[in-house]
Amino acid sequence: MKPVILITGATRGIGLAAAKQLVARGAQVIIGSRDGKRAAEAAAQVGGGTTGVALDITDQASVDAAARQITQQFGRLDVLANNSAILLDHYQSLLDLKPEVLLETLNTNVVGTLRVSQAFVPLLGKSSAPRIINVSSGAGSLNGGSQAWAPAYCISKAAVNMLTQQLTAALPDVMVNSMCPGWCRTEMGGSNAPRSPGEGADTLTWLALEAPHSLRGKFVKDRAVIPW
């Protein structure tokens, strides 16, 4: 039986690369995007029975509608990959950061991730080995030195990592982990990044299909656990 995998924000970049890798490995992939037409176009590009679903992680009604659609179509969800995120403050100083920008970033990157996770818990409960993968970033790590880059984004990804730990405690039967894809050549990462989207997506694919289910509540990069 094919694992059913939903990837949010998967019409481009790391999410799209992961979709291609997972389909090549025999998974049933669902591409989520706030734009249903773009989701359908990306699904057609990936092929292999990939489907698209309109899913705006900042809109509860949209998330609930997507959950109903996936329930009707597949009846379960084996893997939820929370990949959707925004980056609004690339090189802005924290002292110049408008609180509204921080709120918008947190609403998407953190609250949106929680909203989707909550909505899909019932479907994950129908899987024999459910998994949640939160796409985080090394920018959210508290293990390194101080950095002045993208303060709202960094704060949000640190919060995503704590959300991963909270979900792990709340869902003892679900394998929940954060992952760092590294700096990748995507619309968000820019053209100077050293990694391809496919290289960034490799850990997501591994966590979805191969990592042992006992790996829970960790921060993972290049298939290895890294410090928070």
Catalytic residue, from 20, 157, 218, 221: name it: 157
The pLDDT, as a whole number, for residue 146 is 66
Q: Please indicate whether residue 37 is annotated as part of the active site.
A: no
50 close to 2: Cβ distance less than 8 angstroms = no
The pLDDT, as a whole number, for residue 183 is 67
Catalytic residue, from 137, 141, 156, 178: name it: 137
Parallel, antiparallel or unpaired: strands 219-221 and 224-226: antiparallel
The pLDDT, as a whole number, for residue 144 is 74
Distance of alpha carbon 124 from alpha carbon 146, whole angstroms: 37
Where helices occur in 125-196 by DSSP H, the ranges are 151-170
The pLDDT, as a whole number, for residue 221 is 97
Q: Please indicate whether residue 157 is annotated as part of the active site.
A: yes
181 close to 201: Cβ distance less than 8 angstroms = yes
Segment 97-112, tens digit of pLDDT: 999 999 999 999 999 9
Q: Is the dihedral of CA 182, 188, 194, 196 positive or negative?
A: positive
- pTM recorded for the entire structure: 0.96
Percentage of residues in the chain having pLDDT higher than 90: 88
The pLDDT, as a whole number, for residue 193 is 76
DSSP string, 63-99: HHHHHHHHHHHHS--SEEEE-------TT--GGG--H
Weakly modelled stretches of the chain, pLDDT under 70? 145-146, 183
Domains of the chain: 4-226 (3.40.50.720)
